[in-house]
Amino acid sequence: MKVITYFSLIEKFYRATESKFAEAIRIEDRVFPDGELNPRIVLENGSSIENDHIVLYFPKKSSESPNDYLLRLFLLIDTVKKLKASEITAIIPYFPYARQDKVFRPGEPLSAKVVAKILENLGINRIITVTPHIQRIKDFSIWFEHAEVKELSGIKVLATWIKDNVKLDKNTLFVAPDWEAAKWAREMATLLGYSEEHVGRIAKERDVNTGEIQQKIIDVPKWVNTDTKVVIVDDIVSSGKTMVNAAKLLQTEKGIKNFIFSYVHPVHSPGAIDLLLSLKPQTIVCTDTILLENASPRIKQASILPFISSELAKLK
| Under rule CB under 6 A, residue 237 binds ligand R5P | yes
Of 52 and 235, CB closest to ligand R5P: 235
Binding-site residue total for ligand R5P (CB under 6 A)?
A: 12
Min separation Cβ 222 and ligand R5P, Å:
26
- Cα 294–212–268 angle (5° rounding)? 10
Contact status, residue 140 vs residue 132, Cβ threshold 8 Å: yes
Of 187 and 235, CB closest to ligand R5P: 235
Helical axes 111-121 vs 66-82, angle rounded to 10°: 20
| Edge-to-edge strands, sheet with 213-219 | 213-219, 199-206, 172-176, 229-237, 258-266, 283-287, 299-302
Q: Which of residues 177-206 bind ligand R5P (CB under 6 A)?
A: 178, 180-181
Interface with ligand R5P (CB under 6 A), residue from 240, 249, 288, 289: 240
Q: Where are the alpha helices (DSSP H) in the chain?
A: 7-16, 66-82, 111-121, 154-165, 182-191, 241-254, 272-278, 305-313
| Under rule CB under 6 A, residue 238 binds ligand R5P | yes
The amino acid occupying position 227 is: D
Dist. CA 33–CA 35, nearest whole Å: 5
Of 26 and 133, CB closest to ligand R5P: 133
Of 201 and 241, CB closest to ligand R5P: 241
Of 115 and 273, CB closest to ligand R5P: 273
Contact status, residue 68 vs residue 77, Cβ threshold 8 Å: no
Of 52 and 101, CB closest to ligand R5P: 101
Q: Which stretch binds ligand R5P (CB under 6 A): 119-127, 240-248, 285-293, 300-308?
A: 240-248
Interface with ligand R5P (CB under 6 A), residue from 131, 242, 262, 287: 242
Q: Distances in Å between the alpha carbon of 43 and those of 24, 27, 52, 85?
A: 10, 9, 13, 13
Interface with ligand R5P (CB under 6 A), residue from 124, 235, 259, 299: 235
Q: Which stretch binds ligand R5P (CB under 6 A): 12-20, 109-117, 120-128, 238-246?
A: 238-246
Provide the binding-site residues for ligand R5P, judged by CB under 6 A. 178, 180-181, 234-242
